[in-house]
Amino acid sequence: YTWAAGIALGWDKWQDEEWEARHVA
């Protein structure tokens, strides 16, 4: 596990939440 992996995981989570907020609602 590296800082880059942590950032990638955090970014994926944020993207998923953003996409849902824009397209699911």
- Each residue's pLDDT, cut to its tens digit, for the chain (25 residues) gives 688 888 888 788 888 888 888 877 5
Task: Give the pLDDT score at 3.
Answer: 85
Could you tell me the pTM of the whole model? 0.33
For the record, the structure tokens of 21 come out as 């907020």
Task: Give the pLDDT score at 1.
Answer: 64
Helix (H) or strand (E) holding 25: none
Q: In terms of residue numbers, what domain contains 23?
A: 1-25
